[in-house]
């Protein structure tokens, strides 16, 4: 299987992606530095996404790592299932829930870019 050559984005293009959400991760909303920002493909390349600036979001290292090759809705579904996986697999989490240290607030995942009211960010 032939590997697709990725576009090398210029500093100006990286700055354009960084400025999309004024230095915040498009998914969780945490602040990212220009240097620490990772550029995530909204639609992953392996499922037909294009390697262009219109298909990029600024992401923190953690969100980019966990989203990996998932589309946005698959990433949302993955995040929504974290509580169930923790309750199944983590005794310290179960204890924290029993003692009220951790409280499950729901499974609805709303990304930062959805709260920003920037419809142009969804294009691409």
The CATH number covering residue 20 comes to: 1.10.30.50
Identify whether the C-beta of residue 123 lies closer than 8 Å to the C-beta of residue 54. yes
Instruction: Please report the pLDDT score of residue 7 as a whole number.
Output: 83
**pLDDT band of 88, cuts 50, 70, 90:** very high
Name the domain count of the chain: 1
| In the predicted structure, residue 56 carries a pLDDT above the cut 70 | yes
Percent of the chain at pLDDT exceeding 70:
91
Stretch 14-20: mean pLDDT = 97
pLDDT of 2 > 60? The answer is: no
User: Is 16 a member of any domain?
Assistant: yes
Q: Does residue 3 sit within a domain? A: no
Boundaries of domain holding 45: 11-80+109-122
Inter-CA distances, 26 with 4, 21, 54, 94, Å: 25, 7, 14, 30
**Mean model confidence pLDDT for the chain:** 91
């Amino acid at each position: 299987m032939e590997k697709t050559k990725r576009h090398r984005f210029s500093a100006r293009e990286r700055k354009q992606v960084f400025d999309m959400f004024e230095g915040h991760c498009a998914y969780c909303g945490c602040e990212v530095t220009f240097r620490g920002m990772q550029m995530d493909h909204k639609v992953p390349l392996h499922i037909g996404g294009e390697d262009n600036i219109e298909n990029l979001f600024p992401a923190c290292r953690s969100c980019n790592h966990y989203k990996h090759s998932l589309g946005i809705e698959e990433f949302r579904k993955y995040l929504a299932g974290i509580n169930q996986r923790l309750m199944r697999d983590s005794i310290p989490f179960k204890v924290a829930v029993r003692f009220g240290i951790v409280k499950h607030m729901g499974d609805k995942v709303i990304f930062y870019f959805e709260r920003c009211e920037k419809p142009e960010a969804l294009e691409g």
